[in-house]
Structure 1
Amino acid sequence: MATQRPLGFWLKLVDGLINQQFDGLVEEHGVTRRQWQIMNVLTGSPSTEAELTKVLKPFFDSESDVSAAEPVAELVDSGWVADDGGQFMLTAIGRESLARLSEVVERNRTQIAEGIPEEEYDAAVDVLQRMAHNLGWSE
C-alpha cells in the first residue's frame, strides 16, 4: 500500500499545477496573470497604481516584486487600459479582451473541478479557509 502524502504535498502540487496552467492560458491571449488581475480590478472602477499594487500585494511572490507599475504600463501600451492623470481604467478594447479571457478562465475552472460535486468543492474551500485562519490569516 502506498504511503499517504501529507496535506502540504497536495497543496503545493495543486497550486503549482493551477498556476502553470493558468499562466499558460492567459499568456496565449497576450497578457500575464498580473495584467489579468489588474484588468479585473479595473472592471469595478478606475484605480491608481498604488491602489492596484495594494490589491495585488497578496499575489506577488516576494515583497520586492510588489508593484503594479510594469504590468499597468504594458496594458496602457497595448491599448487595453487608459491612463487619465494617474487613474487607470479599461478601454473598450480592454473590456472586450477581458470578456474573452473570462470565458477561457471559466472553462479552465470548470475543468479543474470536473468530477467533483459542488458540495465537495465547497467543503474543500471551507476547510482550507479555516486552516488559513488557524494559522493566523485574516482578511
Structure 2
Amino acid sequence: MATDERPIGFWLKLVDQLVDDQFGASFEEHGVTRRQWQMMNLLTDGPASGKQLSDALKPFFPVVEGSITSAELIEELRESGWVSLDDGQYQLTDLGRRSLENLRGAVERIREQLTENVSEDEYGALVAVLQRMATNLGWDGSVEDTAGA
C-alpha cells in the first residue's frame, strides 16, 4: 500500500506513538514521565486533589491491568520533592516549579520539530478537522485539554 493510501487510523496511531516516544525520551533524561509533566502543569493553576489530577488525565491512562496509576505517579513526584501534599491538596514546590521550567525547553523543541514544515493554517485546519471527527464519533467535549498534552 502506498504511503498516501494509508488510512487515517494508521497516521493517528503513528503520530501518537512518535509523540509519546519523543516526550518519553526527553522527559526520561529529567527523571519524569510525560504524565507527571502533565500533572505538574495542572498544578501551575493551583493546588489540586489526587482525584482532580486523576480525572483530568483519565484519557491518558488506559485501563490496563498492571499499569501504573495516576496516584502512583503523583506520589513519585511527592517523593522527589517536586510536589507537596497539604490537607489533601497537591501543589508544586519551588523545586517542582524550577524543574517544570527546565522541562518547558524540551517540550518546546519537540513541538517545533512536530510542526516543522506545517503552516499555522495547516495546523489549525488539522486540529479543527480532528475535533469534528471526534464529535462525529460521539465525543461531547467533556474531555478537557490536559495541560498541553
TM-score of the two chains, using structure 2 as the length reference: 0.87
Higher relative contact order (CA 8 A, sep 6+): 2
1:35-54 mapped onto 2 (5 Å cutoff): 35-54=36-55
- Alignment of 1:111 onto 2:113: yes
Q: Any runs of at least 4 consecutive aligned residues in structure 1 with deviations exceeding 2 A, and if so which?
A: 63-68
Specify every segment of 5 or more residues in structure 1 that has no aligned partner in the other structure, as ranges: none
Structure 1 residue 67 displacement after superposition: 4.0
Name the % identity: 55
| Structural RMSD (CA) | 1.7
CA apart distance, 1:32: 0.8
TM-score (norm 1): 0.93
What's 1:124 paired with?
126
Q: What residue number does 1:8 align with?
A: 9
Question: How many residues are paired up?
Answer: 139
Structure 2, unaligned runs of 5 or more? 142-149
Q: Secondary structure at the match of 1:82?
A: strand
- For residues 96 and 129 of structure 2, what CA distance do their matches in structure 1 show? 36
Structure with greater proportional helix content: 1
Change (3 A) 1:66 1:47: farther
The aligned residue for residue 63 of structure 2 is 62
Structure-1 residue corresponding to 2:89: 87
CA apart distance, 1:85: 2.2
Checking the alignment, whether the CA contact within 8 Å between 1:80 and 1:92 is kept in structure 2 is yes
